[in-house]
Amino acid sequence: MSDSDDNIIRETATKIFGDLCEPRLINDAEQGIWPTELWDTLEESGLTLTWVPDNMGGAGAEMADGFTVLKVAGKFAAPVPVAETMFAGLLLARAGIKSPLGPMTVAPTHPAARITIGADGTLQGSARDIPFARQAKHIAVLARRDNQPVIALVDRAACHVTEKNGISGEARDTVSFNNIKPLAVANAPAGHDEDGICAIGATIRCLQMAGAMQKILDQSVQYAQERVQFGRPIGKFQAVQHNLAQLAGEVAAAGVAADAAAHALTLAGPDNEDTIAVIATGKIRVGEAATTGSLIAHQAHGAMGFTYEHSLHQATRRLWSWREEFGNESLWSIRLGRIVAARGADELWPFLSS
């Protein structure tokens, strides 16, 4: 991808979200009002199927382009499954299944979950915390057939969905797949098992968080310049300045860690140990930045940022949701710690500097 391609994609996404993803619309979406115009525009622009090749009905863009879209979507707290649809499209395309139009999501989202396909070709099992399941038209399901991972395209309307909202206010539903016959099934590509799905999902969440982190820094700096107390903008007080400087550091770390994870995933599959290590690093560090950074942003905004009316929570609540999904900081730390320990102390610096 060249710089100019990157800019075009970023500008297109920024324009669409900037025009159509107002804070009011995001709160409305949480109340169950589907943002039709936003979704339709995203779909028409091709952004929702960024990762699906042209000959399969998608935009045929590079992995890096899709990661750019995810960052912008995260920055605008997009209340639609643009990330999940891109993710589903990626899995389907890699399995050779054509992506349908309309919103999609992915299941399962936990590495320990198991969905199976029996001899009769129907699915068994359920998955919890499925983002936007109730709004999705289709679900890309990672299932096991004779214990081999397959990707199945499932009509969501055929599934039993138990609605639940996550901490972000977005749908994180439980979906039962029992006795449902998928619309299409194909072998999953190498490395795309439950762990692999989790690694790709973690990377996607890293990019969204990096975008949201940039947003809360922008908002906090702007608020500190506008809010006057003791006769001057609060941003003139050193205590506030130092908090926001620390936030800037966390935003920088989150951005770098997310970009590295994305880059690693463009170079190798989600089952490569070096790739896993970089993705783990991303999910851990971005998650920590989200925790530290969101609280600094709220501190800067005072009581105003604690209201439903103010848009700060649209980014911070999503950060709290995303840091937990596809493995939280602790889960990935254990995994990364085991990788490093198994290689031994003499390999520690070679590993870090590779």
Partner 1 sequence: MSTNFQFDLVTETPALRELRAEVRGFLMDEINAGTFSPNGGEKRGFNKEFSRRVGARGWIGMAWPKKYGGGDRSHMERYVVTEEMRAYGAPTRGHFTADRQSGPVLIRFAQEHVKQKILPGIISGDLTFCIGLSEPNSGSDVFAASTRATKTDGGWLINGTKIWTSNAHESDYCIALIRTSPATPENRRHGLSQFLVPLKTTKGIDIRPIINLTGSHEFNEVVYDDAFLPDDHLIGEKDMAWRQATAELAFERSGPERWLETFSVLNALVRVSGKNPDDRVAEGIGREIAHMATLRRMSLSVAGMLEAGKLPNDESAIVKDVGTNYEQALPNRVRLLAPSVASPERANDVDFEEVLKFNTLIAPKLTIQGGTREILRGIIARGLGLR
Which CB, 155 or 259, lies closer to partner 1?
A: 259
- Tokens linked to 129: 């915390």
Stretch in the footprint of partner 1 (CB under 8 A) among 121-129, 174-182, 183-191, 221-229: 221-229
d(CA 177, CA 85): 19
Stretch in the footprint of partner 1 (CB under 8 A) among 9-17, 48-56, 103-111, 277-285: 277-285
- 75 forms part of the interface with partner 1 (CB under 8 A): no
Which CB, 69 or 257, lies closer to partner 1?
A: 257
Q: Which residues contact 187 (CB under 8 A, 6 or more apart)?
A: 95, 148, 149, 150, 151
131 — phi, psi (to 5°)?
-65, 135
Stretch in the footprint of partner 1 (CB under 8 A) among 76-84, 132-140, 173-181, 281-289: 281-289
To which residue do tokens 């070679």 refer? 350
Which CB, 113 or 256, lies closer to partner 1?
A: 256
Which CB, 73 or 331, lies closer to partner 1?
A: 331
Identity of the residue numbered 180: I
- 333 forms part of the interface with partner 1 (CB under 8 A): yes
Give CA torsion, residues 119, 123, 124, 128, to 10 deg. Answer: 160
To which residue do tokens 């099934």 refer? 185
d(CA 238, CA 230): 13
- Which of 1, 161, 256, 268: binder of partner 1 (CB under 8 A)? 256
Stretch in the footprint of partner 1 (CB under 8 A) among 21-29, 53-61, 102-110, 216-224: 216-224
Which CB, 303 or 349, lies closer to partner 1?
A: 349
d(CA 245, CA 251): 10
- 18 forms part of the interface with partner 1 (CB under 8 A): no
- 330 forms part of the interface with partner 1 (CB under 8 A): yes
- 344 forms part of the interface with partner 1 (CB under 8 A): yes
Return the DSSP state at 352.
Answer: H
- Which of 102, 260, 291, 310: binder of partner 1 (CB under 8 A)? 260
- 1 forms part of the interface with partner 1 (CB under 8 A): no
Q: Is the CB of residue 208 less than 8 Å from the CB of residue 255?
A: no
- Which of 102, 218, 272, 320: binder of partner 1 (CB under 8 A)? 218
DSSP labels, 252-272:
HHHHHHHHHHHHHHHHS-TT-
Q: Compute the C-alpha angle 341/343/345, nearest 5°.
A: 70
- 311 forms part of the interface with partner 1 (CB under 8 A): no
Burial of 146 (0-12, 13-18, 19+ CB in 10 A): exposed
Return the DSSP state at 237.
Answer: S
- 352 forms part of the interface with partner 1 (CB under 8 A): yes
Summarize as ranges the residues that interact with partner 1 (CB under 8 A): 214, 217-218, 221, 224-225, 235-236, 238, 240-242, 244-246, 248-253, 255-257, 259-260, 263, 278, 280-282, 284-285, 288, 329-330, 332-342, 344-345, 348-350, 352-353
